Structure 1
Amino acid sequence: MRALYERLHGPSADYGQNLTRDGLRDLLLPVLQEARQIWSQQEDFAVAGVAEDDFIPDGTDYQQSTNALLRTLLRDGWLETFGDRAGLVSAYRFTRAGKLFAEAFWSLERRVSRTRQRNVRSCRNALNAALDNVDAYDLIDAYEYAEKVISDLSEGVDYFQELVRRLMLEASQTPWDGFLEFLDRFEKEFKKQLTADSIERHRHTIRDIIARLHSLEAEKAEALELQLNDIARWAVQERQGPSTLDWVLDRIEEMVEAACTTKHPQLIKAMSVYMQRAASLSGAAQDGLLARLGAAIAPAEIRLLDPAAFKLRSASQRRKALTVTAQPKVTREARLAAAMYRAEADAFALSNDDIVRRLRAELRLRERPIRLSTLPVATTTDVLNNMQVVEAVRSARDPRLTVQKLPGKLWNEFYAGDDYLIEMKHDPE
């Protein structure tokens, strides 16, 4: 369990690669070999009536032993399989219960104190403190915070996958209790993970602080190195390379990057899958809610920007922008030009409420539906009014006002487009 937890969630975990069957065999093989050596040196198993064969089958074929152990872990609920879409193979991970027990075994063996704060802001603040105070304890705190960020994101993914399983099992009825539990947990936990504690928000700051710690003065770097070697002997044993400081900083950066590029997207995707499954369930209350949402978004329109309006700046322009350090002085001509630009923009801006008000008056006067092509175009205001009237009617959310697209086209000396029929229904007396 400790070896599995170390590979899946420990400090040296490779979050970019899922644990496949071959990788699991390679992980379990040395564990089995070590176990057989221990059992061969101890006679307590025979005295207590417990045989080695109860754990590992007869024979010296470690490959068969590994397969038997793998089947046992799956059968007893320690591990579960899932589809690795990248490699198109089956991968392995802890079940929720298996992860909780394995973490306890791993923590007891490692004997490292744990901090209670579990967010990325704490990691950033601890790194800042390590930089300002040149204190290895702050650096160890940052390391543990980064571990907990990964652990919490993984726990969130497992939580939503469990909710999806419950939805599939209870497909005949809406599990509102589970949904209300999700809303409560979202408000207390996931909302912070996606906003104030978002790994995307603090990623670049953490990366910058780590780079500054890597480039510390020789005297400060040596002091941190000595402190780390004294208080974090586990890091000395696990490190790769001559410097514990560099190894700890690299691992923090790797965990933050893994959380940002792998675990955080997985959490969002798992949450999205759960919401889609929950939304697919039927119910009178849900139908009413969707009907109200539909009425609210019905007036919305989608307008696409012209791709030709977007142009990439040249390399010289980007370099020039980066070298500008002095604040530009706003001249009188620049202020005048800005005022003229705002005045010109306001001159062609019409209020939808004013347009609807004038349209209602026109409909009452005519007492019949109006075709858009019959509205006057004598002035600039008339033309702008006609070009905006369909949008104004749809945004008014007035059930008495309706607009219907006609098969014919509108042509005049100013513009061309679709023709519409606008009608105002009278309230029954």
Structure 2
Amino acid sequence: MFFADHYQHFFRPLTGKYREQVVECLRLLYERLYTAKADYGESLAREQILEIFSEALTRAPQLDSDDGPEDAIRPKSPGAKEHRFRNLREQAVWVLNSLVEFGWLEKQVDSATLVATYPFSRRGRLFTQPLVEVNSTRVRTRHRNTRNTLNALEAFASRGEIHDLIDAWEYSERIVADFTDMIAELEERKRELVREVEAQLLVQQATDEFFSFMESRFQPDLAIRLSADSVEKHRDAIGRVIARIRRKDKAQKAEWERRLRQLLPELVEEGRSLLWWMLDTIEDRMRRACEVKLPALRHALHGFTKRADIIIRQLSYLHSQSEGAFTDLCQQLGENPERDELLSHLGQQLGSFQLRLFDPRQTQLWQRQRRQPVNTRVEEEQPLGEDNRREILLQQMLDQAFNFNSRDLRDYLQKALGSGRRINSRELPLDNARDLLAMSHALEAAAVSQGGGPRVAVEFTGETASNDYFDQFDEYYLELKDSD
């Protein structure tokens, strides 16, 4: 259970009119203990924590109290009457005691020096971290999770270290979570932009807010997420690595399965391979990120930029017209006691006036295309002359004479080898023109034999030879292997 022991009222310090000040105390203490400002060789004593809380109480505002059921359940702790603090130190002591009492901080006493220190409890640190990150201006490099997933999978495929697979599985989970956080942030910023404009109608402030977001969040994070670290860019590479892992030998995969079941016993289910489940989960997360989250992020970014553009244009127009002659004329017409008569008279004058303008977006210039002339005349068939028929016949005979396929080559080699298995290129028979053509293609026998049947090996002797038809050709042996 979460609300057990002294965690029963864990969130009690974050209620009441001092809730914002308590949150600021937690933020400053967290920065002092766990960020670049921390001195890891020193533990904060009570006086140092009270100084940090006093600074935080000075910064944060005091909110209005509801004076309702909240006061009825207020614990009877030191300084329970929150409105009677005489100074900042007394309020800081009350904040410290409240955080210790409800489980945010722990009191640890050194048995040798009897000095008390107040570190965060595990739950207090985990819940304080998002409070710090909400208002943090530091850019987090969350856009590397896709590349981290790919790198961890490649390391696992090459070295076989099971912790690399677990890291890739966790990184893939953060990919979807980061997309969800970014979409929620864009929607929140869009609502804040509208809210600020409705409240103040300041063009410069709305413009500054928009460009501040584009410089501080879009360029360092969103732009990289949509380009260098795009899930679409790395999805195929991750799929290839996963396929390579699946093709590993069975003994290696069985060892990985055994190690996973030892490290993650809470994920083991009867009849399910934990290795296969993790690989399938990574592929499914990449698919969802590409097909669902990335289009949703682009849609949210488009909606935010479009809303900002509309608001800035509208405010600019209102600002430019606020001091114009048209606005003054409308104001004078509204204050004129004869307003109705003037508008009626103006309506009668404009009643017969009609203005029609062409919409340039609906107007297209068509280019006339010249149609190719088609000859539809019916002509009588002219008989071929004797010379034309002879030319066509000779061309067909020439094409057939030099048409040589793999079947002809196999028949020639079969006749040349006879009952033997090895023949020299000098001994290839040349009885007719077809044999001469087959001898010129004899080296192709090795490639032809790859399609099935006996395999022909070619072995060059390094010497040359000649005959009545070739001035020079390479000498080689054709040997039949694996023959039935």
Same fold (TM over 0.5): no
Highest CA radius of gyration, 1 or 2?
2
Higher relative contact order (CA 8 A, sep 6+): 1
